[in-house]
Structure 1
Amino acid sequence: MDIRLDGRVAVVTGGSKGLGLAIATRMAASGADVALLARRADVLEAAREAVGRTARGRVLTVACDVSKAQDTARAYEEVMAGLGRVDILVNNAGTSQTGAFTTITDEVWQADLDLKLFAAIRLARLVWPQMEERRWGRIINVLNIGAKAPKAGGAPTAVSRAAGMALTKVLAGEGAPHNILVNSLHVGLIESDQWVRRHAQAQGQTGQSYAGFLADMGKGVPMGRVGTAEEFANVACFLASDAAGYVTGTAINVDGNLSPVM
């Protein structure tokens, strides 16, 4: 199936690295104009160049911190000024913040919710009126499999991600009459920037190659390997397209059957 996004405009938060960069690259190659949002301007510039190699449309970068309401509003205005509309919103910004429950302070809880939940709420609220007016929109919330099957020590991430899944279902119900389709994608073990960082931190002690590091992680996955960012991006691109015109309110695992919950 040739997935096309010609004439669409997509916004991808956390778009400078990892899954966000892969999603932006896939959507741009499929014909969409794409805006990449992330905090660091220098990293965004490198991402813009990477996406631009295969892009068929315009590529815009906006440096912002989506955990902050004013910065998010400013970034939205820059996107509108540069690209004129938003058809597809991918809420991908986030980190994997976990710890023993009694060690997690109010400040850590609030920061996690601001980045992973309120950023999605605010951006969805900003793009919603234009999607409703045009009777076409796609919102994809990137979560993780812990949202469905949280483990001990998984807070605050599992909690904020579970809230993101509830938000997805609420928005899907409100958006369905207006052809605004809202879904969530749940990450299992997928190659991303966080694993590059963790390997670098451990390499001094283990001397293990990155390929060996990923191979060891993949042993715990039923499919026997870690997924690629491109595989994840392919699913996101499908959900953003007309080919997924009757798919909304779903929470799709992209995890090689790692999650015990469908």
Structure 2
Amino acid sequence: MSAFAADALAGKVILVTGGAGAIGAACVESAERAGAVVVAADLPSATPRPGREVLPLDVTFTASVDALVARVLEEHGRLDGAVNVAGVGGPSARLHEYADVDWSRVLGVNLDGLFRCLRAEVRAMLAHPAGPVAGRGRSVVNISSVTGHVGHPGAAAYSASKHAVEGLTRSAALEYAGDGIRVNSVVPGFIGTELLHSRRTEAEVAALASLHAVDRLGTAEEVAAVVTFLLSDAAAFVTGSSQAVDGGFLAGRLPPSG
């Protein structure tokens, strides 16, 4: 259950890309509980949660992104906030083993795709009046990763793409602060999704959990709570920031002494 007041996002129109995945779906539900009108979008092949409408979106195509944002404007008249979650992990391989096609796919979705979404979202925000429900301005939240701040052996493409997302977020925040558009990133640690557990042994999951100071994996709902805060007017003085939701991962946990 979200800790936010029922009206924290009352009446605001929020778009969530990657809305069928664990973090995306949690962001959709958290924003709805806070009163927002939420549009979720994901690949046509994605499986949404029961009872949830998810519009088709392929972030690797400009036409798909622009059509989605145009539909939001047509149906709701404006866009007050957006959460860019859509992303892929890519294969686990050392750099010298990485194929061009795999590198291009990871960067094409995680960086180029996010750029297309952010561009379309900002254009919509600039072109259509916010109205009183937008409060102090609009907000875009980009989902990054702890690997956007540190290296990750076997995931050079993913780490490079998330480092780039951090730079893109800060640059956009500076460019559009004067237009009342805030842009921030949220930086999850390792989140205990069904997908993560399905791809790892219990020992591997435990090893990942031990990298966090709190000695556990995070939840999608914990990430969504911070996203909802950044979408709300309570975060009106927050832009260009990188908000870690990582259980102390980036603090640099040291091994036990003794």
Q: TM-score range with shorter-chain normalisation?
A: 0.7 to 0.9
AA of the residue aligned to 1:25? E
Tell me the equivalent position of 2:174: 173
Alpha-carbon distance between aligned partners in 1 of 2:245 and 2:54, rounded to the nearest angstrom: 27
Q: Which of residues 99, 106, 111 is equivalent to 2:105? A: 111
Q: Which of residues 241, 250, 255 is equivalent to 2:241? A: 250
Tell me the equivalent position of 1:72: 65
What is the Cα deviation at residue 197 of structure 1? Answer: 3.0
Alpha-carbon distance between aligned partners in 2 of 1:63 and 1:178, rounded to the nearest angstrom: 29
Report if aligned partners of 2:169, 2:184 keep a CA contact under 8 Å in 1. yes
221-230 vs 67-76, which moves further: 67-76
**1:61 aligns to 2:54 (yes or no):** yes
**1:8 aligns to 2:12 (yes or no):** yes
**Structure 2 counterparts to residues 65-214 of structure 1, below 5 A:** 65-97=58-90, 98-132=92-126, 134=129, 136-199=137-200, 202=201
Alpha-carbon distance between aligned partners in 2 of 1:31 and 1:154, rounded to the nearest angstrom: 38
What is the Cα deviation at residue 27 of structure 1? Answer: 0.2
What is the Cα deviation at residue 214 of structure 1? Answer: 5.2
AA of the residue aligned to 2:155? G
Alpha-carbon distance between aligned partners in 1 of 2:239 and 2:231, rounded to the nearest angstrom: 11
**Structure 2 counterparts to residues 11-26 of structure 1, below 5 A:** 11-26=15-30
Tell me the equivalent position of 1:228: 219
What is the Cα deviation at residue 81 of structure 1? Answer: 2.5
Which one has the bigger helix percentage? 1
Tell me the equivalent position of 1:54: none
Alpha-carbon distance between aligned partners in 1 of 2:46 and 2:248, rounded to the nearest angstrom: 36
**Coordinate RMSD, CA, aligned:** 2.1
Alpha-carbon distance between aligned partners in 1 of 2:156 and 2:208, rounded to the nearest angstrom: 21
Question: Structure 1 residues 103, 236: closer, same or farther in 2, change over 3 A?
Answer: same
Number of residues paired by the alignment? 240
5+ residue gaps, structure 2, are 131-136, 253-258
Q: TM-score, normalised by structure 1?
A: 0.84
5+ residue gaps, structure 1, are 51-59, 203-207
Tell me the equivalent position of 2:134: none
What is the Cα deviation at residue 231 of structure 1? Answer: 0.9
What is the Cα deviation at residue 215 of structure 1? Answer: 5.2
